[in-house]
Chains A and B, each alone.
Chain A
Amino acid sequence: MNPEDIKRPENKVYSRPELLCDVSMHYCPGCSHGVVHKLVAEVLKEMGVEHNCIAVAPVGCAVFAYNYIGVDWIEAAHGRAPAVATGAKRLNPDRLVFTYQGDGDLAAIGTAETIHAANRGENITIIFINNAIYGMTGGQMAPTTLEGQKTATTPYGRRVDLNGYPLKISNLLAQLDGTCYVTRQSVHTPAAVRKAKAAIRHAFESSYSGHGTSVVEIVSTCNSGWKMSPAKANEWMVEHMFEAYPIGDLKNTVEK
């Protein structure tokens, strides 16, 4: 069949999510953020909550997330998104409230806000992008940077005797009584993308229905920061990141 004959509206099986704003994202080519944005946009629309949703953007590469997903957004100071989300959710308890944060934002400067929001069991979802590096500021060491990994501030590789260990903050969060669902996913293959989407949906539904804090860590690439091609970065992630940050549910108290 001629491809042009196939391209009819009735044959369409995949299109750009409606909730994704019709603009080009500022992210580098191949960046995982774009895929996760797409999944969040799809899930919000499929749940029918796009007009009852408050999202909180971080400081980091995703600072402009509010330009890409067409819901109400608050842009938080670096690391403070869980506290900002707490204020928004407590005063608007019937809204779906989520934060979107990177590893530096969530696991370094915002550790206290993250741990305590989760420990209070705030009914918010935290979407956590772990790419083991500070992307926005030019590729410096993150709390999640792997041992031996070269970054702009660990040019000879991260040394645990100097910089401590890669922080497995999702494991920490899973220990807290306030979290209902903590999972670690990735978006490097079509199958992984499907699983990540299901995880985001379960997280949103669990917190929206009042079960406590949900956390979806997406083990991601930063090919610019890692100084690799996007495809090579995916391979490197599978080979190195998955050992420190294995994929799968860390905790789930809500029936899927």
Chain B
Amino acid sequence: MAKISGAVEINRERCKGCNLCVVACPVDVLSLQPKEVNDRGYHFAYAAYPDKCIGCASCALVCPDSCIEVYRVVEK
């Protein structure tokens, strides 16, 4: 069976840590940085469990700051 794998690229400086992508992700890939902040002081989002990503782009769709890019491959 084909396996779908995805990956996200998050612009950490544009991210405002609103957490909406974390909530939207159906496979719990994303999380906010618990301690680290970006230049503007936000706990930015990052792929805490990147292997689980299916490249569905749910995170990017709801991101108000358009700081997530999504990649997807179908492995045969």
The answer to whether A and B touch in the complex, with CB atoms under 8 Å apart, is yes
Given contacts A3-B47, A6-B5, A231-B19, contact A13 B71 (CB under 8 A): yes
Asked if A167 is an interface residue, CB under 8 A from chain B, the answer is no
Contacting residues of chain A (33-50) with chain B, CB-CB under 8 angstroms: 33-35, 38
Contacting residues of chain B (1-50) with chain A, CB-CB under 8 angstroms: 5-7, 9, 13-14, 16-20, 23-24, 42, 47, 50
Contact for B71 among A6, A28, A31, A231, CB less than 8 A? A6
Are A230 and B9 neighbours in the complex by a CB distance under 8 Å?
no
Are B72 and A25 neighbours in the complex by a CB distance under 8 Å?
no
Q: Is the interface of B mostly helix, strand, loop or mixed?
A: mixed
Q: Which residues on the B side are within 8 Å of A20 (C-beta)?
A: 66
Rounded to whole angstroms, the CA-CA distance of A34 and B64 in the bound complex is 4
Rounded to whole angstroms, the CA-CA distance of A1 and B19 in the bound complex is 26
Rounded to whole angstroms, the CA-CA distance of A187 and B19 in the bound complex is 15
Are A190 and B24 neighbours in the complex by a CB distance under 8 Å?
yes
Which residue on B lies nearest to A12, using beta carbons?
B71
In the complex, which range does the number of interface residues on chain B fall in? 35 or more
Asked if A30 is an interface residue, CB under 8 A from chain B, the answer is yes
Q: Which residues on the B side are within 8 Å of A28 (C-beta)?
A: 16
Asked if A16 is an interface residue, CB under 8 A from chain B, the answer is yes
Contact for B19 among A14, A30, A193, CB less than 8 A? A30
Are B72 and A30 neighbours in the complex by a CB distance under 8 Å?
no
Rounded to whole angstroms, the CA-CA distance of A31 and B73 in the bound complex is 31
Q: Min CB distance, A9 to chain B, in Å?
A: 9
Q: Which residues on the A side are within 8 Å of B65 (C-beta)?
A: 24-25, 34
Rounded to whole angstroms, the CA-CA distance of A34 and B67 in the bound complex is 11
Which residue on A lies nearest to B5, using beta carbons?
A1
Are A7 and B71 neighbours in the complex by a CB distance under 8 Å?
yes
Q: Min CB distance, B51 to chain A, in Å?
A: 8
Are B64 and A13 neighbours in the complex by a CB distance under 8 Å?
no
Contact for B17 among A27, A29, A32, CB less than 8 A? A29
Q: Which residues on the A side are within 8 Å of B70 (C-beta)?
A: 12-15
Contacting residues of chain A (207-232) with chain B, CB-CB under 8 angstroms: 229-231
Asked if A95 is an interface residue, CB under 8 A from chain B, the answer is no
Contact for B68 among A1, A14, A29, A229, CB less than 8 A? A14
Given contacts A7-B71, A14-B70, A35-B63, contact A29 B18 (CB under 8 A): yes
* Known A6-B5, A24-B14, A33-B64; further 20 A-B contacts with Cβ < 8 A: A1-B5, A1-B75, A6-B7, A6-B55, A13-B70, A14-B61, A17-B66, A25-B64, A27-B64, A30-B64, A35-B61, A35-B63, A38-B66, A189-B24, A189-B62, A194-B61, A229-B19, A231-B20, A231-B23, A234-B20
Interface residues of B (CB under 8 A from A): 5-7, 9, 13-14, 16-20, 23-24, 42, 47, 50-51, 53, 55-58, 60-73, 75
